[in-house]
Structure 1
Amino acid sequence: MRDLVLFIAKHLVEHKDQVEVTMEQSAEGLIFRLTVAPEDVGKVIGKQGRIAKAFRTVLKAANSGDEKVFLEIG
């Protein structure tokens, strides 16, 4: 699923070389931390957070397990 986050993020941003994804298992579920260039943060979040919400929806749909999936953008 990390590859899915990378694939989507790289198609949204201008600085593809600065996209980083880390994955962490926590008590709440699986946390993906997406780091992009400062000027690309707005492109990943979108107007009123619509792109970020769609991003999270895709991750939840792709999740095959019972654990929750979280996406942190920064």
Structure 2
Amino acid sequence: MDVQKVLHYFTTKLVDKPEEVEIIFTQTPEKNIYEIKVSPLDFAKVIGKEGRTFKALRSFINTVDAENRNDLVIDTTVV
């Protein structure tokens, strides 16, 4: 399963400006990093109340890709 594509799909469903969503994948020797870039106006929607949405996304990528150590980062850089 392509985690990057699935993460992009879920994130675009959460935000008001899906055209500004960008998922950047970086692989390091220690871990895989998925960076979510969204509009500053959509940042709170991706984080969710008390960080629940963000935690769910992080749990999702770690479950789907359990054989690798993954990290999830959210950036509000306007794409």
The normalised TM-score by structure 1 is: 0.93
Instruction: Give 1:14's aligned residue.
Output: 16
| Alignment RMSD | 0.9
Segments of structure 2 that go 5 or more residues without pairing to the other structure are: none
In 1, Cα distance between equivalents of 2:72 and 2:42: 16
> Unmatched 5+ residue regions in structure 1?
none
The total of aligned residue pairs comes to 73
Q: Letter of the aligned partner of 1:25 in structure 2?
A: Q
TM-score (norm 2): 0.87
Query: What percent of counterpart residues are identical?
Result: 30
Residue 70 in structure 1 maps to residue 71 in structure 2: yes
Q: CA deviation at 1:50?
A: 0.6
Q: Which secondary structure state, in structure 1, belongs to the residue aligned with residue 72 of structure 2?
A: strand
Structure 1 residue runs of 4 or more that deviate by more than 4 Å after TM superposition: none
